[in-house]
Amino acid sequence: AATEAARAAMVVRQHAQEIMKHLRDTHLPFFLETERFVVEITRSFKPTPEQQMQHLFSAHVEAVSGQQLAQAVPAEFAQRVESSLADLFATLEQQLDHESKAPRPPPTKEVAAQIAFITEYRPLIAADFFRGGEGGAAPYTTYKDLFLRLRKWQCALRRQVGRSSSPRHLETLSRALAETRGQQMEVPGQYLAIREPAPDQHIRVDRVLPELGLAERGLAVHRRITIRGSDGGPHAFVVETAGSAVGASDERAVQLGQLLNRCMERE
């Protein structure tokens, strides 16, 4: 099954590369403008360690809430929880190691914040979720105990993210994005309806407005950007810096609702 999944993922990447090559060869101005926009969004809205950890705890809360809370937690389930948390800390440490070797080291403030997060949170999270040595027992026994621990951390991290994610101006995150003026790229979301596209009537991106907002979605806090279109109107979007089971569930609910609306319109 793992081999099939890897093969399917490779096919998807190949198709994506073919599409990108075709766009580069046939619509170079559009390709360059879109690439610059996506790169700046990806670079400037990187999730903080608190956001990444909060999303991970939200996914675990979602998984545990579907269990019989009075039952004992199997060793395999406890191992998955511990491994996911340990992997995230390992990834954060690898990022620090990689950034320290970069030609242009990242801002000291960001590095210091990431080091402080690892130093402060790893021993506390380990005490709540990590087993004591190889083959040791988890510090909880039932799904209820695990759920309460996960929920405690989810709420604590959500408060921390909310405090640190105060509204900011776009230029504090990306001066390049604040100064970019669009000509080729269309405002996203205009192809959701199943009907023949009409590019001549579609709204194009003019610029990203300087004020950034906050949006709470799926028990997570995200940045909200507003794009001014060629029609002069504002178009708001949420920048989700990390996926979660809750977010995926929200997307599926929206898609099902849209499909139901189209079916009812035909009736």
Q: Measured at the alpha carbon of residue 86, what is the angle toward residues 83 and 90, in degrees to the nearest 5? A: 130
From 180, 236, 242, select the one nearest 45 (Cα to Cα): 242
Q: Which residues contact 218 (CB under 8 A, 6 or more apart)?
A: 58, 244, 246, 247, 249, 250
| pLDDT value of position 165 | 65
| pLDDT value of position 242 | 58
Q: Is there a domain that residue 15 lies in?
A: no
How is 137-185 classified by DSSP, letter by letter? PPS--BHHHHHHHHHHHHHHHHHHHHHH----BHHHH-HHHHH---SSP
Q: Is there a domain that residue 128 lies in?
A: yes
Residue ranges of E strands in the chain: 205-208, 213-217, 220-229, 234-239
**Token duo for residue 231:** 């029609």
| pLDDT value of position 96 | 84
| pLDDT value of position 111 | 82
| pLDDT value of position 156 | 92
Q: Which domain holds residue 137?
A: 47-164
| pLDDT value of position 131 | 86
> What is the distance between the alpha carbons of residues 161 and 252, in angstroms, rounded to a whole number?
26
With contact defined as beta carbons under 8 Å apart, do 208 and 180 qualify?
A: yes
Q: Is there a domain that residue 76 lies in?
A: yes
> What is the distance between the alpha carbons of residues 33 and 257, in angstroms, rounded to a whole number?
33
Residue in the structure block whose two tokens are 């504002």: 234
CA-based radius of gyration for the chain:
22
**Token duo for residue 71:** 């039952």
| pLDDT value of position 79 | 92
User: Per DSSP, what are the bridge partners of residue 186?
Assistant: 204
Q: What is the pLDDT along the chain (267 residues), one digit of tens a residue?
A: 557 777 887 888 898 889 889 989 998 888 888 888 888 888 888 888 998 898 899 889 989 998 999 999 999 999 999 999 999 999 999 888 877 776 665 556 778 888 999 999 999 999 999 987 666 788 999 999 999 999 999 999 988 887 776 667 888 888 888 888 888 888 888 877 666 777 778 899 999 999 888 777 665 667 889 999 999 999 999 887 655 555 556 667 777 887 788 788 776
Helix (H), strand (E) counts: the chain: 9, 4
Q: Which of 225-231's residues contact partners 24+ apart within 8 Å by CB, and which partners?
A: 225/170, 227/187, 229/187, 229/203, 229/204, 229/205, 230/203, 230/204, 230/205, 230/206, 231/203
Q: Is there a domain that residue 154 lies in?
A: yes
Cut 0.85: pTM above it: no
Residue 195: count of CB within 10 angstroms of its CB: 8
Q: Is there a domain that residue 5 lies in?
A: no
| pLDDT value of position 60 | 93
**Token duo for residue 34:** 């879109």
* Structural domain count of the chain: 1
